[in-house]
Structure 1
Amino acid sequence: MTTMGAGMDGRVGRRRAAALAATTLAAALVLSGCGADDSGARDTTGAAAEAPAVNRGEAGRDAAAGAPEAAGAGAPDLRVDQRAIIYTGTMRVQVDDVDAAAREAAAVATRAGGFVGGDQRSSADADAVAELQLRVPAARFAGVVEEITKLGRQQNREINTQDVTEETVDLDARIASQRARVDSARRLLARATSITDLVSLENELGRREADLASLEAKKRRLADLTALSTITVSLAGPAATTTDEKAETGFLVGLRGGWKAFVASMTVLLTVLGALLPWLVALGVPLAAVFLLVRRRRRSPALAAGVSAPPPVPAARSAP
């Protein structure tokens, strides 16, 4: 009995040991599986965390690379053809025929798409001078200047430019803001309920509209000056006095000036005589005839008295 009980106790112990070993093995397998899952999850999470980081890095590099382009796109365009520039020019050209040169200068401006804004001339043959104000498109400004130079001998030229880009941009912004103020005043006027508010809002609306009209007029003026350039052309005859000659001094300059003054004075004097000659002929001849007739009549009685009077008798001398 003792032997059988011991054998049974041994078998029970071995079963327990086997069950414990199986339980331990199962627990180990479970733990290893959970560890694998955790590590996989951690790997997946880490990969997912690294991907945005990498993407953010690449995006940052792309943004850094594209930053100059974006800055360049937002910066103002500094090209000359995109700026508002006013061109003005003044030139003097000596020509043989002032009238013909003036007609050709006007034709040059017309062919360029412009027009003649002013025309002043003084005709005196070789001293003739014509001053033209030409308005031509800004894109054709240089070409028109060169064509006018070929009309004769250029004596002087002065070209000026004025960049009004910032002023134009400022006017655009002020006009947009003023239009918004006008619209706001109109909305308030539409909702006015009392006479006092109505009068006050009408005055304010009128003031804002006047300011808007003034800004728009300035914008149109700038647009006209930038679209059409102004060229003032002086065409002088061969004998016309130049600026350099006006600045000269000396005997010859004085002699030349005195001769011109003498010729001008004689011209004026002859003009006056020519104007008075018809009156002298019309009034002088009758007056001269009357004067001669009166003088002849005065001399006739004196001659008659001299012929009829006897000669005087000499007085007798007394004896000594």
Structure 2
Amino acid sequence: MGGRRLRGVALVAVGLIAALSVGACGAGGDSGSDSAAPAADSGAGREQAAEGGADGGGADRDQAAPGGTGGADLRVDQRSIIYTGTMQVRVDDVEAAAREAVTAVTAAGGFVGADRRSSRDAEARAALTLRVPADRFSAVIDQLAGFGRQERREIRTEDVTEQVVDLDARIATQRARVESARKLLARATSVDELVRLENEVGSRQADLASLEARKRRLADLTSLSTITVTFLGQDASTAEEEADLGFLAGLGGGWTAFLASARVLLTVLGAVLPFAVVIGVPLWLLLLWRRRVRARRTPPGPEPVPMPAGLAGGPVSAPPPVPAARSGP
């Protein structure tokens, strides 16, 4: 009996312990779920706040940049533009205007690319090719126009932004290809593989150098604009730069072409004449001498036979009759 009571008490105690543990687990689960819900709610709130902040910032950027999304790419200072200007200015003193133009370009941070001058009094002119920073292009153009009376101005622009972006991407890709080829070259195990990989590395490096040269050329053209200015004296004419049309213009052009052709023919004749005299005259004398020698060696022909009178055209007489032969007695 005592053993049964002890077993019963032990079972009751185990049951109570199990019930208490189940209740504790249920309470812990409820409290965990309750604490997890606020955490999830706070995380969702943070995400929504972040999204709202991002949207708000994007809206502010869209409003700040003209053109909406991507408006910053449309700004002029963010694009690569090549400026080229051509102008003609008539001045009182061509040399002085040319010196002032060189001084103005040097002060603006540029340099003179070409300088062609003609100092004839009546036809004095100077043609300068100037390279100036792109941000000083308009200011230098206006300054050059103020040296005299501007007769002609032409400004051209070329947007090469897409070419620059494309070159940047291709250069980055090509550099990665060169690096990968170098890594493979470092792990080469045979002579054939080593030679093949060296050729591949050289080819990729040449392509990379070509792309980088194109990028430098575009960078030079976009950073330094080109201005071609022609200074003319007061008496200088622009007939060479104007296209003349009409009968007189055609006649003058034809006469000029004829004189040019005649000069060419006379030049060729003058070049050939010494050879003709040195070679042709002895050759002609040699042919003449051979002809005379051949004529001397030729024997005289037979004497002519006199023709009969009848053949000469006179009357032809009939031949005498032949007597008939007699027969015997």
Cα separation, partners in 2 of 1:205 and 1:60, compared to 1, 3 Å: closer
Q: 1:108 to 1:60 in 2, by over 3 A?
A: closer
Matched residue of 1:127: which SS?
A: coil
Counterpart for residue 85 of structure 2:
89
The equivalent of 1:30 in structure 2 is none
Q: 1:165 matched to which residue of 2?
A: 161
**Which residue of the other structure, out of 229, 233, 243, is the alignment partner of 2:229?**
233
What displacement does 1:147 show?
Answer: 0.7
CA deviation digits over 1:194-240, x for unaligned, max 9? 11111111111111010000000001001111111100001111111
Structure 1 residue 186: deviation in Å? 1.1
* Residue 67 of structure 1: how far off its partner (Å): 4.5
Residues 88 and 243 of structure 1: CA distance in aligned 2, closer, same or farther (over 3 Å) = farther
> Structure 1, residues 162-207: CA drift from partner, whole Å, max 9, x if none?
1111111111111111111111111111111111111111111111
Change (3 A) 1:61 1:147: closer
Percent identity, aligned pairs only, is 59
Is 1:120 aligned to 2:131, yes or no?
no
**Residue 101 (1) aligns with residue 97 (2):** yes
Q: Deviations over 1:231-264 (max 9, x none)?
A: 00011111112369945779xx99xx9xxxxxxx
User: Residue 74 of structure 2 aligns to a residue in which SS?
Assistant: coil
Match of 1:65 in 2: 56
Supply the distance in 1 between the matched residues of 2:183 and 2:244 (Cα, whole angstroms).
Answer: 70
Q: Tell me: CA distance 1:57–1:149, structure 2 relative to 1, closer, same or farther (3 Å).
A: closer
The 2-side partners of 1:108 and 1:116 are apart by 11
Report the TM-score when normalising by structure 2. Answer: 0.57
Q: CA deviation at 1:46?
A: 11
CA pair 240-177 structure 1, distance change in 2 beyond 3 A: same
| 2:132 pairs with one of 133, 136, 144 | 136
Structure 1's 176 and 236: CA in aligned 2 closer, same or farther, altered over 3 A?
same
Question: Shift in Å at residue 94 of structure 1?
Answer: 0.4
The alignment's TM-score, normalised by the length of structure 1, stands at 0.59
Opposite residue 129 of structure 1, the aligned amino acid is: R
Change (3 A) 1:135 1:44: same
**What's the offset of the Cα at 1:123?**
2.3
Q: 2:108 is aligned with what amino acid?
A: A
Q: What does 1:48-63 correspond to in 2, within 5 Å?
A: 48=38, 61-63=52-54
Is 1:180–2:166 an aligned residue pair? no
Among 203, 206, 212, the alignment partner of 2:202 is 206
CA 1:150–1:54: 2 relative to 1, 3 Å: closer
Residues 249 and 64 of structure 1, relative CA distance in 2, 3 Å threshold: closer
Cα distance change on mapping 1:180 and 1:74 into 2, 3 Å = farther
**Where do 5+ consecutive residues of structure 1 fail to align?**
1-36, 258-320
Cα 1:241–1:198 shift into 2, 3 Å = same
Which of the two has greater helix per residue?
1
The whole-number CA distance in structure 2 between the counterparts of 1:153 and 1:70 is 47
What are structure 2's unaligned runs of at least 5 residues? Answer: 1-26, 253-329
Give the equivalent residue in structure 2 for 1:78.
74
Distance 2:43 2:190 in 1: 64
Whole-angstrom distance in 2 between the partners of 1:46 and 1:207:
61
